[in-house]
Amino acid sequence: MHINRIKSGAGSYRLVNSTTFDHMISTLELYGEQSQHPLVSFLIDQANESEEIDLEDDDVG
């Protein structure tokens, strides 16, 4: 199972399912091409800095 760990706030991390993550990133990148909004750029940068970690099914839930 692939999980993405996204930095959020003051050095904390939040875990996001990879399918959700990939969809979110592709949506942001598509929107980002049409917009120079700083928030969109910030979110794409944050996503690019995220780490993908492998979890065994036993580790989840």
Q: What residue ranges do the domains of the chain occupy?
A: 2-55
Residue type, 37: H
Residue 50: count of CB within 10 angstroms of its CB: 17
| pLDDT beyond 70 at 38 | yes
pLDDT in tens, 3-33: 566 665 555 556 666 677 777 777 776 766 6
Residue type, 25: I
| 13: exposed, middle or buried (Cβ count in 10 Å: 0-12, 13-18, 19+) | middle
pLDDT at residue 9, rounded to an integer: 59
Residue 43 tokens read as 């979110």
pLDDT (average), residues 46-60 = 64
**Rounded CA separation 51/44 (Å):** 13
